[in-house]
């Protein structure tokens, strides 16, 4: 994979020490933290959803890869802060600002502070198969057409 291009949309990413360019927290980290690029603390009331900018645009370019925005497990477990769309899929040809839909699924208000880590971004490979329309599948799997709850607890 070639390098992924990162464009600073909001100058505060460079000017404000609380912000930082995308980096991994540790060598073993799969993703990078996305920070709230907001000017002042934002109260997200219980049940509300807000679209928050990151101040960054990421251009993958290679259609064999895509970006994914995922929730931070600590925010979800401890505070009920998850993504409004559960997972964000960023196509390789998207060049706009990364925006994060933050949903407060808890019963308590949550204050999101400027530069606070709110989500994480990973790059994943994308299979690009060709599809063949058939009247019957070439063989029958063990599962067949068994649906919801077919292989375990209902």
Q: Rounded to 10 degrees, what is the CA torsion of 38, 43, 47, 52?
A: 0
Supply the DSSP string of 82-150, one letter for each residue. Answer: EETTSSEEE-TT--SEEEEEEEE-SSS-EEEPTT-EEEEEEEEE---------SS-SS--SSTT--TTT
At residue 154, does pLDDT exceed 70? Answer: no
In a domain, 144, yes or no: no
- Is 151 domain-assigned? no
**Position with higher pLDDT, 141 vs 44:** 44
Kindly state whether residue 67 falls inside one of the protein's structural domains.
Answer: yes
> pLDDT tens digits, residue range 60-108?
999 999 999 999 999 999 999 999 999 999 999 999 999 999 999 999 9
Q: How many domains does the chain have?
A: 1
Has residue 99 been placed in a domain?
A: yes
Token output for 104: 């407060």
Does residue 140 belong to any structural domain of this protein?
no
Determine the pLDDT at residue 150: 67
150 vs 72, which has greater pLDDT? Answer: 72
User: In which domain, by residue range, is 79 found?
Assistant: 5-125
Task: For residue 143, tell me if it sits in a domain.
Answer: no
pTM of the model: 0.85
Q: Which of 33, 27, 49 is nearest to 104 (CA)?
A: 49
Tell whether 152 is covered by a domain: no
Q: Is residue 131 part of a domain?
A: no
Q: Which CATH number goes with the domain that contains 97?
A: 2.70.40.10
The per-residue pLDDT for 16 is 80
Across residues 118-130, what is the average pLDDT? Answer: 95
Share above pLDDT 90 across residues of the chain, in percent, rounded to a whole number = 73
């Amino acid at each position: 994979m070639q390098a992924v291009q990162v464009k600073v949309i909001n100058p505060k990413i460079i000017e404000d020490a609380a912000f930082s360019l995308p980096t991994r927290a540790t060598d073993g980290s799969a993703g990078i933290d996305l920070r709230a690029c907001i000017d002042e603390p934002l109260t997200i009331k219980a049940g509300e959803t807000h679209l928050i900018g990151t101040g960054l645009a990421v251009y993958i370019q290679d259609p064999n890869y895509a970006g994914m925005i995922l929730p931070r497990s600590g925010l979800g477990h401890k505070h009920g802060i998850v993504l409004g769309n559960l997972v964000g899929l960023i196509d390789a040809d998207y060049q706009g600002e990364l925006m994060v839909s933050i949903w407060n699924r808890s019963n308590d208000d949550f204050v999101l502070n400027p530069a606070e880590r709110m989500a994480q971004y990973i790059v994943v490979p994308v299979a690009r198969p060709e599809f063949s329309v058939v009247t019957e599948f070439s063989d029958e799997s063990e599962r067949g057409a068994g649906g919801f709850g077919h292989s375990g607890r209902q």
